[in-house]
Amino acid sequence: GYFLTRLILIPTRKTIEAQKRFIADVAHELRTPLAIVKANTEVILLEGEKFDADTRKQLESNIEELDRISEIINNLLTFNRLLRPGRIEFVDIDLSVIVDRAVAKLTQTIRSQNIDIVIKKSDFCSIWANAVAMEQVVMNLLKNALTHTPEGGVITMTIRPDYKGHIELVVQDTGRGIAKKDLFHIFEPFYRGDPSRGRKQGGSGLGLAIVSELIRLHNGRISIKSTQGKGTIVYVLLPCGNYDPRAYDASPGAFQDEISID
């Protein structure tokens, strides 16, 4: 199974390379209308005395979200450049802080879906990473779990050292799981399994593709285990902080994505 999975993922990698160019073109076209919407919102905010506190807060929240979307678009536009680690800044980061921040930003969604979030942290959670990229990774993984976990479900996020030079992030949900036919395609840009689901529920199909690329950039590793009807577990390994992993033999992409099927 392990060797077969590797062979199956080879054409997937080639497909991703071709689709990156398309993603970059689309992202570039999105920048202008996004900038216009943000500018218009900022102009409206200048007339703050015309709005009550709640309206002003909503407009400010819109600007924050527009900034976040802009950051995602920038990452999409620089996919190929991001594959060269020397072009972005790596620092020691407490991964548990990133997880807490992601959960806080999605509090409204979590409450509306009546989802229980359980966070388990070890004392040492330091990773060598880019802060913006790591927040994007964690946000995408959490959003993906929320999308596929029904009301009343549980999502458990665990951060712990593997005592082999890595910090492990585990995101486990009690959702519907991933079909076997979809598992081998989940890292492809724009791939969305089960077309019977609505677009809102199915997502854009970019989340795991972005996660996979960013984790490879960090000399990390992602693996997914899923059982239909029981849920999905995502395992992410990232180099510990306090040292530069680029000084080691491993290079970006040295670890491949893994898929496990029950």
User: pLDDT for 13-25, tens place per residue?
Assistant: 566 566 666 767 7
Q: Is the pLDDT of residue 199 over 50?
A: no
Q: What pLDDT score does 76 carry? A: 67
What's the CA dihedral at 158, 163, 165, 170 to 10 degrees?
-20
Supply the pLDDT for residue 256.
42
**Residue 204 confidence (pLDDT):** 44
Q: What is the mean pLDDT of residues 137-164?
A: 93
What's the confidence (pLDDT) of residue 248? 36
pLDDT value for 101 = 93
Q: Residue 34's closest CA among 61, 59, 69, 64?
A: 69
* pLDDT class of 41 with cuts at 50, 70, 90: confident
Summarize the confidence of residues 48-53 as an average pLDDT: 76
Q: Specify which of 2-6, 55-59, 180-184, 222-226 reaches the highest per-range mean pLDDT.
A: 222-226
Out of 103-107, 123-127, 183-187, 249-253, pick the least confident: 249-253
Q: 76-88: per-residue pLDDT in tens?
A: 665 555 544 556 7
Across the chain, what does the average pLDDT equal?
A: 77
Does 72 or 35 have the greater pLDDT score? 35
Which range, 165-169, 191-195, 203-207, is most confident? 165-169
* Residue 5 pLDDT level (bands cut at 50, 70, 90): very low
Looking at residue 10, what is its pLDDT? 52
Token pair, residue 45, equals: 């905010």
pLDDT cut 90: percent of the chain above it: 31
Task: Give the model's pLDDT for residue 169.
Answer: 97
pLDDT at 15: 64
126 vs 53, which has greater pLDDT? 126
**Mean of the pLDDT values across residues 51-64?**
85
